[in-house]
Structure 1
Amino acid sequence: MDQRILGDLLDRNDDHVAALPSGAFDRHRDGQRPGVVSVCCSDSRVSQEGMFAVDEPGFLFTSGAIGNGVSALVDGERVLDGSVAYPLRHTHTEVLVVVGHTGCGAIGAALTAARTGEFPAEPGVRADVEALVPIVEAGLDDPAVTGRGGGGSDTQSDGGSDTQSDGASDRDDDARIRDRLVEYNVHEQVAFARESEETADATVYGFVYDLHGAYGDRDGAAYLVNADGERDPAALRDLVGDARGHHVATLL
């Protein structure tokens, strides 16, 4: 039994309680109406509340999934995962945010599986990776992902300027392909979500959280890559405005 970790958890909870303003839950004790449901990859480096500086209850409905997947397999059919469908249908949430991240281990595992047929041994992990493999295989056929036939080597951010080599120049080709597949997967998850009945009245955004300098030079920045299916950086910059244009980028 690791009592050190237990003590750390309890101390951190004391800090949380102390930081809450008086009456923080007064409007939320009997229900919730979060403005956003967020689906991030299950990863200790990627804090959903942290990346959007959410420090109050009631704003962000969080769902974590390996590979930031928005679907679940029910009776042999892919449907919108319950953790996403629930807030959209039952708490009047109107925005869905799908967030991938650079260096994603789930995408890396799916890439290995696509290339070699080798999957993680754990049944639950394998099932999540298996769901990503068709997406990765489709991505590997896309010249924008592999870099074949032009494209796939520019990031477009910072008001429209282009930066070569997917950000950091010292990253190897596999890492760069994986990060392009991360963005490709975000697009695919957004597309699946938008086809679901539960999102008929919702706006769906796709982001990539950068902790490797793949999109720019700001660790922890979230880059908008998709807005209701729109992927063109110029259109996305128009959407967010000049002051937030540095949050728009693409590797594809």
Structure 2
Amino acid sequence: MDQTFVDLLAGNLAHAAAFDDRFDDLQAAQHPHTVTVCCSDSRVLQDHMWGNEAPGRIFTCGNIGNRVVQRTDEGDVVSGDVLYPLAHTGTETAVVVGHTGCGAVTATYDALTGDVNDLPGIEGCLDLLKPLLEPGVEALPDDLSRPEAINRLVEYNVDRQVDVLVGSDDVPPGVEVVGAVYDFQDVYGGDRGEVHVVNVDGERGVADLRATYPAIEDRIRRLWVY
């Protein structure tokens, strides 16, 4: 067996020893206060980015492109993995977390601006992103470098995923939807690994968001106002 997995199992023993008594109140049910939808990426540490070590606190979902949409025979709907905690466990906050340098956004950008073919499973994921990102690609300023364009589309993708949740009748009333970007490239300033809020319930204006949420005004930043 590969030594890397052996090392992972050893790390799990340390985890189990530290967490053994943290599941006492969670044996029969869970009531997380937040569901996060993050991009599936080895550089995006879903619980650690929030400093979370409490089981039952955050319901974590991950997929390439931090998508909240899945395709069904009836059309595109809010993904069940996102909707489940909102509909069944009393979760009242949904956070869509994009990240700088996103590979899924990059692949979608390349597919929209060129001729890129990938494996069917990956193509299926990109096909869900393409209609959401295509207007953003067309609106990009002409003077951006490729990395700058990608990171602005990361924000744009977060905005569109937030829009889906805010506009869905399947999401219970009163759920707050936050859009954020996890920055490990020092694009936004501050320390690498910081989360920056770019959208709340569809509002993207930085000044308005800071006025409405003064407790986090220093965490509200955007690269692109469109």
TM class by smaller structure: over 0.9
| Cα distance, 1:49 vs structure 2 | 0.2
Number of the residue aligned with 1:214 = 187
Runs of at least 5 residues in structure 1 that lack an aligned partner in the other structure: 149-171
8 A contact 2:197–2:219 mirrored in 1: yes
Aligned partners of 1:59 and 1:10: how far apart in 2?
A: 24
Aligned partners of 2:91 and 2:61: how far apart in 1?
A: 14
| Cα distance, 1:246 vs structure 2 | 2.2
| Cα distance, 1:215 vs structure 2 | 1.1
Find the partner of 2:120 among 116, 119, 123.
123
Aligned partners of 1:85 and 1:228: how far apart in 2?
A: 16
Find the partner of 1:146 among 141, 146, 149.
141
Aligned partners of 1:24 and 1:249: how far apart in 2?
A: 35
8 A contact 1:39–1:69 mirrored in 2: yes
Number of the residue aligned with 1:103 = 101
> CA offsets per residue over residues 47-86 of structure 1, 9 Å max, x none?
1101111101000000001100000001050000010111
8 A contact 1:38–1:99 mirrored in 2: yes
Number of the residue aligned with 2:79 = 81
**Normalization by structure 1: what TM-score?**
0.84
Number of the residue aligned with 2:88 = 90
List aligned pairs for 1:199-238, cutoff 5 A: 199-201=171-173, 202-238=175-211
8 A contact 2:33–2:57 mirrored in 1: yes
SS in structure 2 opposite 1:209? strand
Number of the residue aligned with 2:158 = 186
| Cα distance, 1:181 vs structure 2 | 0.3
Q: Does 1:16 align with 2:15?
A: yes
Q: Does 1:67 align with 2:41?
A: no
Runs of at least 5 residues in structure 2 that lack an aligned partner in the other structure: none
| Cα distance, 1:135 vs structure 2 | 2.3
Query: Percent sequence identity over matched residues?
Result: 40
Amino acid at match of 1:222: V
Aligned partners of 1:115 and 1:132: how far apart in 2?
A: 14
8 A contact 1:41–1:66 mirrored in 2: yes
- Runs of 4+ more than 6 Å apart: none
8 A contact 1:95–1:204 mirrored in 2: yes
